[in-house]
Amino acid sequence: IWWLDPELTYGNAKPFVFTQGHSVCNRSFFPCFDTPAVKCTYSATVKAPAGIQVLMSATQSTYLEEEGVYQFYMEYPVPAYLVALVAGDLIHADIGPRSRVWAEPCLLPTAISKLSGMVERWLTAAESLYGPYIWGRYDIVFLPPSFPIVAMENPCLTFIISSILESDEFLIIDVIHEVAHSWFGNAVTNATWEEMWLSEGLATYAQRRITTETYGAAFTCLETAFRLDALHRQMKLLGEDNPVSKLQVKLEPGVNPSNLMNLFTYEKGYCFVYYLSQLCGDPRHFDSFLRAYIEKYKFTSVVAQDLLDSFLNFFPELKEQCVESKAGLEFERWLNATGPPLAEPDLSQGSSLTRPVETLFKLWTTEPLDSVAAASSVDLTKWRTFQTVLFLDRLLDGSPLPHEVIKKLSECYSSQLDSMNAEIRIRWLQIVVRNDYYPDLYKVRRFLENQMSRMYTIPLYEDLCTGTLKSFALEIFYQTQNQLHPNLRKTIQQILSQGLNPLPAIDTTAVTTDTPAMVLEDKVSEATNGAISLRDVNVSA
């Protein structure tokens, strides 16, 4: 349960509270069987002060104004982690026949402009693929930047971090992913957290089918290329033999399942589902199977064998061909082998969008640097967000870059990037930090002074503390810590406390000698387990 003082909200007017149950946190909210294997209906009575709007992930709700009492009822069985509550200074607007958006008053106009009419379009596309939407309403509530992940698929009421509103393409993908969870994860749920890919891999596949139907194959392939790049980046960091890269992960006693949320769950799971769809020859045949799968198992929890047995029974000709035992691509190997996916999708339909990225990257990274004129003529403001972040991610992978290259990059693109969304800006600023490019350091400070969300602060602090700029990071943190949620503050303190040996600040007011003690009085010596995943995953539960 996250309690926020008014100053941690956008409006700074009223306190705010929300819950985050995934994966095993709702045991601290109410007594429950906190496992996805158990589902039940629920009802709740919530009393709140006047002026505080209360919402829950429920199909029915009433409000007795004179008593200040809200009553909620979820008529369909759900696992405990999907029970969710939010309360604060929230107002709403309808954005479709069965959807409304909730947000703080200062954010509502932006939310309406981004999503009006869009959610119904996505729901209709999903229904054409996977059958009726069974939850009644699909509402969205935008939460303050303290929300610890990007989005959460609470039935009837998707939670999304407000910070993502400025990044249109990421907003589209994140909402469509949560829409897909209405079928895969909410209606049919993984019975154990050791097989989280049954929700995330299938939801990612369904998300990409929906985006293909609504935005075309090229856009879907571009987004997939961006995510698979991130998967391989994470693979290099973790190592190919790391057991967390299995689809069927073994949960040791005392391990929080949320620690296993990584790109393998999403992207390796997606690649397996995509492989199954390719065995059918036509993705529409696989859509038919998934509709039957949902109809058979809705409101229950399943294991991988349920999915695979159903698949082979639905396609007896594939069963006769023993596709489950095809050499090198055995279903068992997909589930239990470490390392990258055994097969990846053909993304050639996205070449019109990915080829310019590859061309520009080669111009900047091929020695000698003779092609600056050609490279500088590229106008990144004309690119899609996913093209720009793919380009910047590849530059990040190659950092540190030669000083001449980073200097020319800044001259060509820095002013263009300044006006772009936070998903783009944070990547450019990480390049600045990893290359110790002092002329643009003031932009890092300005960015961190205006960000309160985990996803836009942790990666920069990690990079600052990995290199020679820890004292610079200490100074910024000391000046901004009061605007951060205590949980985020503690995480940054952990990052700053590792190998603490402050250096002189760069082009800034000197850090006083007592700053480290003041900032790090509660320092923790252990490294945070989530550092790698936080750096490389834009997590949507």
> Which amino acids are annotated catalytic?
178, 266
Structural contact between residues 520 and 496, judged by C-beta atoms closer than 8 angstroms: yes
Q: Give 351-417 as a DSSP string.
A: HHHHHHHHHHHHHHHSSS---HHHHHT--GGGS-HHHHHHHHHHHHHTPSPPHHHHHHHHHHHHHHH
Residue numbers in the known binding site for Zn(2+) are: 177, 181, 200
* Integer Cα distance of 441 and 437 in angstroms: 7
* Integer Cα distance of 57 and 69 in angstroms: 16
The b-or-e profile of 210-239 (16+ CB within 10 A means b, else e) is bbbbbbeebbbbbbbbbbbbbbebbbeebe
Structure tokens at 539: 């997590």
Handedness of CA 474, 476, 477, 481 (dihedral sign): positive
- Pairing of β 99-103 and β 139-143: parallel
* Integer Cα distance of 226 and 220 in angstroms: 10
Element (H, E) at 238: helix 217-238
Crossing angle for the helix pair 197-215 and 217-238, to the nearest 10 degrees: 150
End-to-end CA distance of the chain: 17
Structure tokens at 102: 């909730």
Within a 10 A sphere around the Cβ of 362, how many other Cβ atoms?
Answer: 12
Q: Which residues pair with 522 in a beta bridge?
A: none
Structural contact between residues 66 and 115, judged by C-beta atoms closer than 8 angstroms: no
Structural contact between residues 47 and 68, judged by C-beta atoms closer than 8 angstroms: yes
- Pairing of β 139-143 and β 85-88: unpaired
Query: What are the two backbone dihedrals, phi and then psi, of residue 347, each rounded to the nearest 5 degrees?
Result: -105, 20
Contacts of residue 254, Cβ cutoff 8 Å, sequence gap at least 6: none
* Integer Cα distance of 149 and 151 in angstroms: 6
Dihedral (Cα; 345, 348, 354, 358), 10-degree rounding: 100
- The SS3 of residue 147 is coil
Whether omega for the bond prior to residue 439 falls within 30 degrees of 0, making it cis, is no
Q: Which residues pair with 188 in a beta bridge?
A: 184, 300
Q: How far is CA 152 from CA 19, 141, 459, in A?
A: 11, 10, 21
What number of H helices and E strands is found in the chain?
22, 14
> Nearest-5° angle of CA 368, CA 370, CA 371?
125
> Nearest-5° angle of CA 533, CA 168, CA 140?
80
Q: Which amino acid is at 122?
A: W
